[in-house]
Amino acid sequence: MSLSASLSLALPELVLALGAMAMLMAGVFSGDRSLKLLTWGSVGLFIVAIALVLQGPVERTVAFNGLFVVDAFGAFLKVLVLIGAAASAVLAVPYLEQNRIAKFEYPVLITLATLGMLMMLSANDLLSLYVGLELQSLSLYVLAAFHRGNARSSESGLKYFVLGSLASGLLLYGVSLVYGFAGTTNFVGVSGVLAGAAGEALHIGLLFGLVFVIAGLAFKVSAVPFHMWTPDVYEGAPTPVTAFFAAAPKVAAMGLFVRVMMEAFPAISEQWQLIIQVISIGSMILGAFAAIVQTNIKRLMAYSSIGHVGYALMGLAAGTQAGVQGVLVYLAIYLLMTLGSFLCVLSMQRGDEQIEDIYELAGLSQTQPRLAACFAILMFSLAGIPLLAGFFGKLYIFQATIEAELYTLAIIGILTSVVSAYYYLRVVKICYFDAPKAPFTRYGNVATASILGASAILCSPVSFLYIGPLLQTAANAAKSLIG
């Protein structure tokens, strides 16, 4: 394929790259007063990128000598990532202004991180995978420490950087081992080498390489036992940054995880499926039980996100088209629930003070009934209560797991869902049945209120209206990856 044809396939990424450079220059000359303008500029870039993604080729197409791939699977997840990034950029502006950290670099970093995510989702080679992953990670390290005057924010950025660098080292070591024993870093090439060696004993060096690659990717999705950074970083980072971490990068990393396993290592699925089952079980159990004792809402949401990664990994452990379809549906619904939930967390303010104790939500239904109703719907959906969107997400994951005859994994998933329902329902109980405390200061503007309202409505029983088309789109995306 010619260079011009390859570039045309990478138009969404090129738009974000050139847009980020232009935003950076505009910010340098205009200063911090350009924050709002650059934020809406980044949203415009994301909308243009979504349009370009949707206009991409339907059939799987490879570009840049096999380094870059465009298909329905990547397009589905790119749209989710771009929606999550746009919402995260908009909801941050009031917080940044209130806390006097309204720096123009924020939307630029969001845009660069999103560019890295799009590259990750189109990676067709272990090297292009690493480049996209590091572009995303370097931006996220800076965002975690964005509130430089706050010790907790600086600490979270440092922890994330140190542990993230370790994970990147593990991933690179795994890539070097895979290359050493397979002779290629291209996903199709690695898959061909492994398929050609079918029936022979798997070389121990290649198996070690696979384990290190999984370890590096598991860190990026904050799966057990590589979750240790998540609660501290979620708590210490500015709340809009935490919302961004829990939404777009999680979706991108999970999509990358699925692509690597299903495209590069399908011939040895029996080896890696057991590893995925173990980290899925560990994530679900830790997410369910560790969150019970949390009183800080951001730490509670951190452990909640670890648990949800465990459920998504169930679909990958199934290793089937139905499993991948379940993962895609789950990620779409999880994105909605997460953005809405963190907007509710952002609304927990009195004056300039950000409130993080869940008991400060007491009596919210009496002081701010609309906010309490949105919070309740989102908590019920995260718990997987029937008729709400979260229920359908788990339903298709469990269905794929049972079809793959992973009965133990499905049973553990159901039991941990019951346990995790306790801390979600506790938040609702505090909002509706405890004696009211002082009301929160109104947060945000029309745009943030619209995002919160849309999230709550889409997670309500209205989800019946879109779950069918979403399921069909996810099925087409899964088929493009596996079929």
Is the peptide bond prior to 225 cis by the omega test (within 30 degrees of 0)? yes
Which of 387, 394, 345, 371 minimizes the C-alpha distance to 456?
A: 371
Rounded CA-CA distance 468/456 in Å is: 19
Buried b (16+ CB within 10 A) or exposed e, 138-164: bbbbbbbbbbeebeebbbbbebbbebb
pLDDT band at 270 (very low <50, low <70, confident <90, very high): confident
Q: What is the pLDDT of residue 199?
A: 58
Q: What is the pLDDT of residue 282?
A: 94
Tokens at 269, concatenated: 């699925």
Q: What is the pLDDT of residue 483?
A: 66
Per-residue pLDDT for 190 more than 90?
Answer: no
Please provide the DSSP assignment of 259-279 as one string: HIIIIISGGGHHHHHHHHHHH
Q: For 111-149, how does the pLDDT look when each residue is reduced to its tens digit (9 = 90+)?
A: 999 999 999 999 999 999 999 999 999 999 999 988 887
Q: What is the pLDDT of residue 197?
A: 66
For 389-394, what is the mean pLDDT? 90
Q: For 127-137, how does the pLDDT look when each residue is reduced to its tens digit (9 = 90+)?
A: 999 999 999 99
Please report the beta strands in 171-322, taking only residues with DSSP state E, as ranges in sequence order: none
Q: For 312-339, how does the pLDDT look when each residue is reduced to its tens digit (9 = 90+)?
A: 999 999 988 999 999 999 999 999 999 9
Side-chain-side CA neighbours of residue 404 (13 Å): 27
Please provide the DSSP assignment of 342-378 as one string: HHHHHT-EETTEEP-BGGGGTTHHHH-HHHHHHHHHH
SS (H, E, C) 402-434: HHCCCHHHHHHHHHHHHHHHHHHHHHHHHHHHC
pLDDT band at 481 (very low <50, low <70, confident <90, very high): confident
pLDDT, the chain, mean: 89
For 450-466, what is the mean pLDDT? 88
For 75-100, what is the mean pLDDT? 90
Rounded CA-CA distance 255/325 in Å is: 11
Answer yes or no: are the C-beta atoms of 306 and 287 closer than 8 Å: yes
Classify residue 357 as left (phi > 0), alpha (psi -120 to 50) or beta. Answer: beta
Rounded CA-CA distance 187/68 in Å is: 11
Q: What is the pLDDT of residue 200?
A: 67
DSSP state of 69: E
Measured over all CA atoms, what is the biggest interatomic distance in the chain, rounded to whole angstroms? Answer: 68
Answer yes or no: are the C-beta atoms of 210 and 268 closer than 8 Å: yes
Per-residue pLDDT for 443 more than 80?
Answer: no
Give the SS3 label for residue 311. helix
Side-chain-side CA neighbours of residue 403 (13 Å): 17
Q: What is the pLDDT of residue 111?
A: 94
Q: What is the pLDDT of residue 306?
A: 93
Rounded CA-CA distance 22/125 in Å is: 29
- Whether the model clears a pTM of 0.75, i.e. scores above it, the answer is yes
Angle between helices 269-290 and 407-433 (to 10 degrees): 20
Q: What is the pLDDT of residue 215?
A: 92
Q: Which of 1-5, 21-25, 35-39, 322-326 has the lowest mean pLDDT?
A: 1-5
Q: For 156-166, how does the pLDDT look when each residue is reduced to its tens digit (9 = 90+)?
A: 888 889 998 99
pLDDT above 70 covers what percent of the chain?
98
Q: For 398-432, how does the pLDDT look when each residue is reduced to its tens digit (9 = 90+)?
A: 999 999 888 999 999 999 999 999 999 999 999 88
Give the SS3 label for residue 106. helix
Rounded CA-CA distance 224/221 in Å is: 9
Q: What is the pLDDT of residue 251?
A: 92
Question: Which residues fall within 8 angstroms of residue 13, CB to CB, at 6 or more apart?
Answer: 115, 118, 119, 122
